[in-house]
Every structure is written in structure tokens, then in C-alpha cells.
A and B are shown apart, each in its own frame.
Chain A
Amino acid sequence: MYAQLVETGAKRLKTLEEMSPEEREFQMKVDAETKIEAKNWMPEGYRKTLVRQMSQHAHSEVVGMLPEGNWVTRAPTLKRKLQLMAKIQDEAGHGLYLYSAMETLGADRDEEIDKLHEGKVKYSSIFNYPTLSWADMGTVGWLVDGAAIVNQVVLQRTSYGPYSRAMIRICKEESFHQRQGYQILLDMMREGTEEQKQMVQDSINRFWWPALMMFGPSDADSPNSQQSMAWKIKRKSNDELRQMFIDQTVPQLEFLGCTAPDPDLKWNDERGHYDFGEIDWQEFYEVLKGNGPCNKERIETRKNAINGGAWVREAAKAYAEKQQQKQQNAA
């Protein structure tokens, strides 16, 4: 999943007694796992939080096309090229699908995209890291889509119906992408040259920590989580999800014959989980603030695409109006 630090506007949770009758009814529905649909009453904070989270998610799908677009023109075989193209196309589809789901909440796609371009809203920090080698196409599929899936599988049970249904559909495709990504790495590790193997390890070294950061700040520093959890927009805490991801990923890492750039990573029998080192939170917050290696380029590219395409969209609109006029005249 690609939403980090989503603001809920709530300082603390209201008790059922403090809620208005509508709010109480809403919360009881949520507690009973009844899906909230577009036409149902919902607290303004819930609606706004969802718009923020879904738009952030949609933006991430779209911006996430760029690091892969960086290699789609250089994919090394016909098969890999076709796979990557299909993956990128899926991502554009996810973006469209999520924007549509978001619009059921009364938000507007173009307005939300404007906010992205003005730097008012975010997309996942991971896409601000560069893709420097072909192995990154494997690592992005395996680790980045893998981390996204951990989050999204849980979000299939999110309280808002349209978002939940979008997640169910998206998860299926993401799992496919993840397996493809892993296969790229596995093929290179098993049958590749020494240079290719080094390419894989270098790629994992660069993406390991940023992938862990995708789950957002640790629970202690995640002020909005409590409200999101009560609304069941969020279903598991950042740290829980991160641990799940690490636990499922380390055996895959070992199967590849690669290592993680974390000397503290080791199995803890007592906890039944892997222990891992401290994330560089300063880097995380700097990247969120816009100081990552590619923040500027990513937004520039998106802005140029949309602003540079304004004349195209205007022309399409003018043409459609002319056609409509012609039909009316003919009728």
C-alpha cells in the first residue's frame, strides 16, 4: 500500500456517548463489519481521511509507473519487456480505478491531481528512489509490490465498500507482479553471470530500507493511526504490518542467496519473529518532505505530462462538443 501518514483530523477518539446519534449508528455499523457505501451517512473526518488515503494511493500507482518507465525502454528480452509493459499498464489501471472509487466520496480527480502537483499531498516515499539497474525491476516487483500487498491484503477488509472492492481486485494483480519480480531476481541469481548476481545484491541493498519505510512511521510516532483504526480504514498498525512483511520476506531473501543490508536482522525464537535494525527515520522524513533523490523529477514529469497535455484535452473536449452539436442539428 502506498499511503503513509494519512491525516485524520482527530486529536483523540470520541466515546460512543460523545457521538451524535448519526455518528453512533455509523460507528456501530463499522464495528459490526458492515461496509459503508457511498450513499450512507459518514462523519466528515472519515470522508476526508478516505479521500486523502485513496488519492495518495492512486497517485502512488501513477507516480510508481515512472521508476519502471525508466527501464521499459531498456528491458533486455522480448518476454521481460512485455511483462514490464503489462505491469505498467496494470498500474495505470489501478490508478484509474482508485480515482474512480475516490470520486464516489464526492472528490474530484483533477482537483486531487492538482494538489499532488502543488506538493500539498503525497504519494509513497518509495517512488522517490531511483531505479539504477535492470535488477531494480525485479526488486521493485518483489519488495515494493510485496510491501504494498501486505498492506493491501489487510485493506481488502477496510470499512469503505468501494475501497475494499478496489483492493480485492488490485491485490490479485499485485501478487502476480510480485512473483514476476522475484522470478527476475531468481533467474539472475541461479543462471546469471557474476556481474548479474552483483547487480541483484546491489539492488536489494538499495531498496531494502526504503521498502521497510513504506509502512510508515513506527506506531509510537503515528498520531493518526488510532482514529483510522477505529474507523477501520486501517486494520493493522504500521509496525505489525512491517513485521509481517519482514517475516515473510527473509526466507525469500535467503532462497535467492542474497543478504539484507542489516546486521541486526536475525530470527528471534522467543518472539517468533525476525528482529531487525533501526530504520533511518531522518531519511524517511526528509524523503517525505521532498528531499529524496527523485522527488523533484517525479513531480516534474507528472506536471509536464498533465500541463503539457492540456491542449490535447481541450481539443478532445472541443471536438466532442462539435460532434454533439452536429448530432443535434441533424436531429
Chain B
Amino acid sequence: MSNDITQNEALQEYLLRLADSDMILGQRLCELCGKAPALEEEMALMNVALDLVGQARNWYEYAAELLDDGRSADDLAFRRDAQYYRNALMVEQPNGDYAVTMARQFFFDAWHYFTLQALTKAPDERIASIAAKATKESQYHLRRSSEWVRRLGDGTEESHERMQAAVDDLWRFTGDMIEADEVERQMFEAGIGPDPEQLVADWKGLVNEVLTEATLTPPPEGAWMYRGAKEGHHTEHLGFILAEMQFLPRAYPDAKTW
């Protein structure tokens, strides 16, 4: 990002980040269809995925209006390649076992919830109203995923080991998600986005609390963080996610309707 982006450009970028993270995590959860460890989880995973893709649609629609370059919400979701995607690295990580699925969800939900909460106070009414609905959904997601971190962390020996491994593996992607760059700082200054320092503090506070309750060891402070999503530098996974997700619009570019 250059230093002289306008606030409108920053907002477009910011909306795409929100939308893309929702979309990609929703997509990952869709992959689990029919594969959950219990029928109740099948329902819950699809429920969360529905919320996320629904939120993504709302953000994409607003972003498309602001971009005003002829692209629709669907175009933004289904016709942008990985380098233009702005989702957090966290959400593109594979589902792994259920510990990975739930640790990823929890790390994201904690960030998502605090972010959305701040967005409900945005002076931009469109943002505030989307965030108001999304916050309620996110609150439920967070309650659910934090409960699973506790269950698996403090369940059996096997589940504890798996959850600890999941936390350790995914930790390197948390920095990219929670730490602000220039766009996010600009959003804060405009009174839209969360206070970057407060967000990190809230996230770390909650994550530490839940991990401790779950008898898990939080990874050390200052651990190396893998970054790049905010500039479109992703892990290798995103390309495959998009190849699958965007297959039809790409294979049938002339199709106007589906």
C-alpha cells in the first residue's frame, strides 16, 4: 500500500478484507459438509458457514457499489485471483482435524467479534447496520468455538494433544490477522474500524483466557509471525480454494445467469 491512499480507497480495501475472510472461511466450512464428527456439528458448521457467506455477500455488495467499476458482488467473489484476495492467512488454512478446524475458528471468531463490535459504531450507516447483524452471529460463533477449544483442550489426553498442536501450528498466522497496517489505522482514524491497539489487547486477553481454561499452553510472546495477506501474498492453499470455488464462472465466462 502506498502512503497516499484516499480514505475511499482504504475503505474499499477494508471491505474486501472483511468480505474475503468471511468468504474463505465459509468455503472451508463448506468443505466439511457430510464429514463432521456428529450430526449436531454438521448443522452448526453449516450454520456458521451460512452466516459467514451471508456477511461476505453484504460486504461485497457495498464494496462493489463503492468501487463502481462495473463489477458485481459475484464478480468480486468469483472472478478475482489469489493476489487480489485480501482474506487473513488464518482462514485459508486447511480444515485439518477437528482441533485445527476449531482452533482456526476460535482465533478468527475472537478477532471477528471485536472487529465487528467496533464497526457497529461506524458513522457509515451501511457498515454499522451490516456489523450490527453480524456481531450477533459472531457472538454465537465465538461462544461455540471457544467452548470447543475448552472441550478438546480439557477433554481427553488425545484431544488435548491435538488441540495443543493445532494452536501451535496456527499461531504463526495470528499476527497477520490481528495486527493493523496502514489501511486499518486509517479506518480507525476515520472512526470506522477498531482501535488497533485495543483490538490486539482484547484478542490476546480473550485468547489467553480461553487457552488457559482449556489447560493449553499459549505460544510464547514474540513468536515469529507469517504475514503478507494484506498485500495479496497468501499461502499456497488459497489458489486451490479459488480454483474450486470459482470453477463455474471461470469455465463458463459467457454465462450471464445461474
Contacts A85-B53, A99-B39, A315-B158 known; A65 to B257 CB distance under 8 Å? no
In the complex, what's the smallest C-beta–C-beta distance from A103 to chain B, in angstroms? 13
In the complex, what's the smallest C-beta–C-beta distance from B129 to chain A, in angstroms? 18
Q: What chain A residues lie within 8 Å of B54 (beta carbons)?
A: 82
Of B118-126, B149-157, B195-203, the segment with at least 4 beta carbons within 8 Å of chain A is B149-157
| Nearest CB in chain A to that of B160: its residue | A315
| Nearest CB in chain B to that of A72: its residue | B30
Q: B30, A73: Cβ atoms under 8 Å?
A: yes
Q: What chain A residues lie within 8 Å of B30 (beta carbons)?
A: 69, 72-73, 81, 85
Select one of A76, A318, A322 contacting B78, CB under 8 A: A76
Q: Is A78's beta carbon under 8 Å from chain B?
A: yes
A80 to B77, CA, bound (A): 13
Which residues of chain A (137-165) have a CB below 8 Å from chain B? Answer: none
Q: A72, B33: Cβ atoms under 8 Å?
A: yes
Q: A311, B245: Cβ atoms under 8 Å?
A: no
| Nearest CB in chain A to that of B50: its residue | A85
A134 to B247, CA, bound (A): 11
Which residues of chain A (82-118) have a CB below 8 Å from chain B? Answer: 82, 85-86, 88-89, 92-93, 95-96, 99
In the complex, what's the smallest C-beta–C-beta distance from A158 to chain B, in angstroms? 23
Contacts A88-B33, A196-B252 known; A315 to B155 CB distance under 8 Å? yes
A interface list, Cβ under 8 A from B: 62, 65-66, 68-69, 72-82, 85-86, 88-89, 92-93, 95-96, 99, 134, 184, 187-188, 191-193, 195-196, 301-302, 304-306, 308-320, 322
A62 to B39, CA, bound (A): 8
Q: What chain B residues lie within 8 Å of A193 (beta carbons)?
A: 252, 254-256
Q: What chain B residues lie within 8 Å of A308 (beta carbons)?
A: 35, 37
Q: What chain A residues lie within 8 Å of B254 (beta carbons)?
A: 193
Q: B39, A78: Cβ atoms under 8 Å?
A: no
Q: What chain B residues lie within 8 Å of A89 (beta carbons)?
A: 43, 46-47, 50
Q: B156, A305: Cβ atoms under 8 Å?
A: no
Q: B42, A316: Cβ atoms under 8 Å?
A: no
Q: B156, A318: Cβ atoms under 8 Å?
A: yes
Q: A78, B57: Cβ atoms under 8 Å?
A: yes
Q: What chain B residues lie within 8 Å of A309 (beta carbons)?
A: 36-38, 41, 98
Mark interface residues in B44-74 (1 if CB within 8 Å of A CB, else 0).
0011011001101100100000000000011
Q: What chain A residues lie within 8 Å of B255 (beta carbons)?
A: 76, 192-193, 195-196
Interface centre among B27, B46, B162, B256 (most CB of A within 10 A): B46
Q: B258, A134: Cβ atoms under 8 Å?
A: yes
Q: A72-B33, A301-B35, A313-B37 are in contact. List 19 more A-B contacts (CB 8 A).
A: A68-B33, A69-B33, A74-B248, A75-B248, A77-B249, A82-B50, A85-B49, A88-B46, A89-B50, A134-B258, A195-B252, A306-B37, A310-B37, A312-B41, A312-B98, A314-B159, A316-B155, A319-B151, A319-B155
Would you mind naming 29 contact pairs between A and B with Cβ atoms under 8 Å apart? Answer: A62-B34, A65-B34, A69-B30, A69-B34, A72-B33, A73-B31, A74-B247, A75-B248, A77-B74, A85-B53, A88-B46, A92-B42, A92-B43, A134-B248, A187-B257, A187-B258, A193-B252, A301-B34, A305-B35, A306-B38, A309-B38, A309-B41, A311-B156, A314-B159, A315-B155, A319-B150, A319-B155, A320-B151, A322-B154
Total CB contacts across the A-B interface at under 8 A: 145
| Nearest CB in chain A to that of B244: its residue | A73
In the complex, what's the smallest C-beta–C-beta distance from B146 to chain A, in angstroms? 13
Q: A73, B257: Cβ atoms under 8 Å?
A: no
Q: What chain A residues lie within 8 Å of B244 (beta carbons)?
A: 73-74
A309 to B38, CA, bound (A): 7
Mark interface residues in B223-258 (1 if CB within 8 Å of A CB, else 0).
000000000000000000000110111001011111
Q: Is B221's beta carbon under 8 Å from chain A?
A: no
In the complex, what's the smallest C-beta–C-beta distance from A82 to chain B, in angstroms? 6
A192 to B255, CA, bound (A): 6
A66 to B32, CA, bound (A): 10
Q: Is B40's beta carbon under 8 Å from chain A?
A: yes
A187 to B255, CA, bound (A): 11
| Nearest CB in chain B to that of A78: its residue | B57
| Nearest CB in chain B to that of A68: its residue | B33
| Nearest CB in chain A to that of B158: its residue | A311
Q: A78, B74: Cβ atoms under 8 Å?
A: yes
